[in-house]
Structure 1
Amino acid sequence: MEQILFLISLFLSFAFSGRCSDVYSKNDFPKGFVFGSAVSAFQWEGAVDEDGRTPSIWDAYVQSSHGHGPTGGVACDGYHKYKDDVRLMYDMGLDAFRLSISWPRLIPNGRGPVNPKGLRFYKNLINELTRYGIEPHVTLFHNDLPQALENEYGGWIDRKIIDDFTAFADVCFREFGNKVKSWWTINEPNMLAWGGYDLGVFPPMHCSPPFGIRNCSRGNSSTEPYIVLHNMLLAHASTARLYKQTYKDKQHGSVGITLFAYWMVPFTSSEEDKIATQRAKDFYLAWVLHPLVFGDYPDMMKRIVRERLPIFSKEESEFVKGSSEFLGLIHYTAVYTAHVSGTVHSGDFTSDMSASLLPFGNSSFVKFDVLPWGLEGVLEYIKQNYGNLPAYILENGRPTNQHSSLNDVGRVEYLHAYIGAVLDSVRNGSNVRGYFQWSFMDLYEFLNPNYTYGLYYVNFSDPERERFPKTSALWYTAFLKGTTVNSQNLKDLWGSTSHGASSQ
């Protein structure tokens, strides 16, 4: 690896002399800016029935799906290979690593006794990261709700979840907080509420006729997406208050929440599409951002959804307002937004929004174009409308076919463009504190196992789950080591010095 990095550094030092556009290095970012990568527990750990872990709603989802390829049962076997993986992170030069805590591994029944083996695993993982100087950013809930709580009271549709989630967070703060300074409560609540409780495409697969994409066995698409996100905001605020009151003075950490953020632009220049785009931003982005900053939902949502939209009491409004010390943005691409009129059915989140989200050009929602101005748009939107909240890019990456070569030059071009967009946004005044590439290695991709996001290839057919660096791993390593980088020149270098496989 060191020899390859030396060649990259030597080559690029000559290639970039005298050039400035499209050229930057890690040193161009502000002091303290964090660069990392990320995984989620269910997609990386495996060991789903080992050492006291009980099923989550992801396990039920996988069992009910009719896909093929790798399963979450072993995934990347990170549960057993975490030391090797941390060493790869160190060799790459990561400042930070985003992981998540599997709730059913730590507290198998969702509440009550802590599983000592699960506790030991996360302590060992966090200790290993800090031993190598890698800062752990911990997501408390990355969509793996204990199935026990889903069975008992429906999980996020019941306010009981607020106390149970806060108690789970309390264990994490108490046990890991001496080494964890950055906590993220809930992963992409807007996407989970929409996809899991209206469309039925994510666990726990709730929806109701005539809405939804799947044939769901239970749910109410008209009300549950709004109830679920409301309870998530209250659970987040409860957790943030617990940390502030009990742990912050001793541990000196911070608590934030995440947001899945497409950037949206009108499909045509028509006034209808322009209005639809603003409406989609209110429903999809401001749905989370408005309560966090102003203590209530956007007026447009209240006018359209009316009595189906939960109401914050005065106390709850103050409780949620200002509860997130920073914001985690999950961004992959930009979309067109078109007005939808004359819908046959009305009364769920999708029809309430009355806007269709369409991919650009030759892209799709599985494999998309490089549109870095979309990320700049999201950051500018937050700066202009929400007080320039401190933000981290917590997920950003591009999928490639899992069975293609290691020469993922398309991913290199994507990362180069989007990290450059972050730098431009920082220079334009956006309060961005860090960037996390998704994902460190190929993970178990439950929606489409043929497309993966990893810097490292994982051979899911091999019981050992061996890891191999892709071109993108070498590029990101060179960048993290301080080399001035450029996507095209690294592509040329890789093509002339490596195994010469076809590009992705």
Structure 2
Amino acid sequence: MGATAFFYILLFLWVQDTAATLGFTRSDFPQDFVFGASTSAYQYEGAVSEDGRSPSFWDTFTHAGKMPDKSTADVAADGYHKYKEDMKLISDTGLEAYRFSISWSRLIPNGRGAVNPKGLQYYNNIIDELVKRGIQIHITLYHLDLPQCLEDEYEGWLSPKIIEDFTAYADVCFREFGDRVTYWTTVNEPNIAAITSYGSGQLPPGRCSDPFGITNCTAGNSTTEPYIAVHTTLLAHASVVRLYKAKYKAEQKGVVGINIYSFWSYPFTQSTVDLEATQRCKDFMYGWILWPLVFGDYPQVMKKNVGYRLPSFTKVQSELIKDSFDFIGINHYYSVYVNDRPLETGARDVMGDMSIYYRVSRTDPPVGKAAPTNVTSDPKGLQLVLEYLKDAYGNPPIYIHENGLESTNGGLNDTDRVDYLSTYIGSTLDAIRNGINVKGYFAWAFMDLFELLSGYQSNYGLYRVDFDDESRPRQARLSARWYSGFLKKNASSIRLSRVQEDLTLNTVF
């Protein structure tokens, strides 16, 4: 027996054992619950200068050498050219839903006005392929890739001018794709995007001010601009939701929501100040977005700590924003420990306003029994997030839009990712059984992509992409085979010998 054959037999036995010990199956989830995987336009498509696409501010950022590995997504996973094969792979894997984003720069290169026919055709082609294969489609309108021309013209999300342009862009998407798409997310992670794009400068447009920037920013104000960006985003989101309800919902019968980044926060100690800091963390991280959507205003602790630097809503704006969502999407990867930091005087960024320290670490265990010692993989934390959102915000429908584990070696035998996904899916089921209105789970990512914080230094894909090969071949990792077997409700369908294995899952193309 050759070494390769022996390796596959071992994987087969390991997967069978894993399936036997899960304690749940796909059929344990509600009938209308969907499982899928996610990508985003800039991270997946490549072809940044082809067929009429204009630069987004990500192109400017990466070409200025701002990534840790000095990489760009000029080619990325080459999804622009390989989409048809990828949509077939999605179907063959057994995914029930696929979440992706539209590149505003590809669809409307000038940010407003004329629609690019080749960009329009590309997205129509993807949607048609998914419809043909019975895959539920979830589209994010904005996944952190603003047309550079709008950044140049009026500084993007810092200007109220973007509300009209974003609404017009959404109008095009609803008009052109809404006959086949009923799940829409307006903006991905506005809470974290504000901090990293306008506070630390880690993401484009790379704005920050001393001493808060992690990168060398040439412009910005870390003490005010994150709050301005979120404020404008909320108004733009509400405008889009109002448009959809007035113009499209009756006929298309779709739903529109927004996405937030989430982590669960444990108190580092059981002291009163750490318990208060942990709640403050939740109010800033979740409440920054969700309080306006549910209650029409920002959390009181934000108004107190941020003061005049926090924009305020008019009565009309408050009424527009309140209840402007059909669901909440969350991106969740890990938990953190939180302890109090005295509120500083003088200039503060968002983290200073929050007045906390937080740790994401295997080496900083909390005092007492407040949390597990390894919070980088803490499936219970996901369940606690879901339960908190139910209790604090009225049990809205929730989609877990992103959940996954980073791999730095990029190999195929990603047993750690299988363990991670299976335990987090199990926590999702526990939350559902506790009455939380969770409607879907999407693994991040369907395949290796250009990662926004690390370029190609880390890999989150169920499928490996060889970025050193011009043809960008895809190859199934163990996690892809496990997920496929789970979704097909029959663990024995995962055949890991080359003779018996599903050929599609074993193909490198």
Deviation by residue 1:133-179 (Cα, 9 ceiling, x = unmatched): 11110000000000000000000000000000000000000000000
Match for residue 476 of structure 1?
Answer: 483
Deviation by residue 1:373-414 (Cα, 9 ceiling, x = unmatched): 11011101111110001000000000001x442000000000
Distance 1:150 1:385 in 2: 35
Deviation by residue 1:45-92 (Cα, 9 ceiling, x = unmatched): 000000000110111111121543753000000000000001110101
Alpha-carbon contact 2:62-2:70 (below 8 Å) kept: no
Q: CA deviation at 1:483?
A: 2.5
Alpha-carbon contact 2:343-2:355 (below 8 Å) kept: no
Match for residue 419 of structure 1?
Answer: 425
Match for residue 405 of structure 1?
Answer: 411
Q: CA RMSD in A?
A: 2.6
Distance 1:14 1:71, change over 3 A: closer
Distance 1:91 1:267 in 2: 45
Alpha-carbon contact 1:23-1:484 (below 8 Å) kept: no
What are the equivalent positions in structure 2 for 1:15-94 lying under 5 Å apart?
Answer: 22-64=22-64, 65=66, 67-68=68-69, 71-94=72-95
Match for residue 450 of structure 2?
Answer: 444
Distance 2:417 2:10 in 1: 17
Match for residue 435 of structure 1?
Answer: 441
Alpha-carbon contact 2:194-2:230 (below 8 Å) kept: yes
Match for residue 274 of structure 1?
Answer: 275
Paired AA for residue 286 in structure 2:
L
Paired AA for residue 472 in structure 2:
R
Distance 1:428 1:446 in 2: 34
Alpha-carbon contact 2:97-2:137 (below 8 Å) kept: yes
Match for residue 460 of structure 2?
Answer: 453
Distance 1:395 1:183, change over 3 A: same
Q: CA deviation at 1:370?
A: 1.6
Match for residue 378 of structure 2?
Answer: 371
Match for residue 207 of structure 2?
Answer: 206
Distance 1:332 1:393 in 2: 10
Alpha-carbon contact 2:62-2:71 (below 8 Å) kept: no
TM-score (norm 2): 0.90
What are the equivalent positions in structure 2 for 1:31-180 lying under 5 Å apart?
Answer: 31-64=31-64, 65=66, 67-68=68-69, 71-180=72-181
Q: CA deviation at 1:349?
A: 1.1
SS at match of 1:400: coil
Distance 1:179 1:363 in 2: 48
Distance 1:165 1:157 in 2: 13
Distance 1:66 1:90, change over 3 A: closer
Match for residue 252 of structure 1?
Answer: 253
SS at match of 1:384: helix
Distance 2:166 2:350 in 1: 25
Distance 1:213 1:67 in 2: 12
Alpha-carbon contact 1:290-1:296 (below 8 Å) kept: yes
Match for residue 265 of structure 1?
Answer: 266
**Residue 466 (1) aligns with residue 438 (2):** no
Deviation by residue 1:313-365 (Cα, 9 ceiling, x = unmatched): 1111111110010000100000011212375864221210111221132599x
Paired AA for residue 478 in structure 2:
T
Distance 1:314 1:16 in 2: 54
SS at match of 1:261: strand
Kindly report structure 1 stretches of 4+ aligned residues shifted beyond 6 Å. 7-14
Match for residue 219 of structure 2?
Answer: 218
Distance 2:12 2:467 in 1: 35
Match for residue 289 of structure 2?
Answer: 288
Alpha-carbon contact 1:8-1:478 (below 8 Å) kept: no
SS at match of 2:333: coil
SS at match of 2:291: helix
Q: CA deviation at 1:9?
A: 13
Distance 2:114 2:491 in 1: 50
SS at match of 2:248: helix
Distance 1:430 1:8 in 2: 38
Distance 1:9 1:408, change over 3 A: closer
Distance 1:92 1:146 in 2: 33
Paired AA for residue 413 in structure 1:
D
Alpha-carbon contact 2:35-2:440 (below 8 Å) kept: yes
* Paired-residue identity, %: 51
Distance 1:37 1:446, change over 3 A: same
Unaligned residue ranges in structure 2 (runs of 5+): 1-8, 366-373, 502-509
Match for residue 361 of structure 1?
Answer: 362
Unaligned residue ranges in structure 1 (runs of 5+): 1-6, 499-504
Match for residue 228 of structure 2?
Answer: 227
Distance 1:295 1:15, change over 3 A: same
Distance 1:180 1:323 in 2: 19
Distance 1:483 1:384 in 2: 35
SS at match of 1:332: strand
Distance 2:67 2:251 in 1: 48
Distance 2:359 2:285 in 1: 14
Q: CA deviation at 1:368?
A: 7.0
Distance 1:252 1:355 in 2: 43
Deviation by residue 1:439-487 (Cα, 9 ceiling, x = unmatched): 00000124222211000000000000000000000000001101369xx
Paired AA for residue 159 in structure 1:
P
Q: 2:390 aligns with which of 377, 383, 390?
A: 383
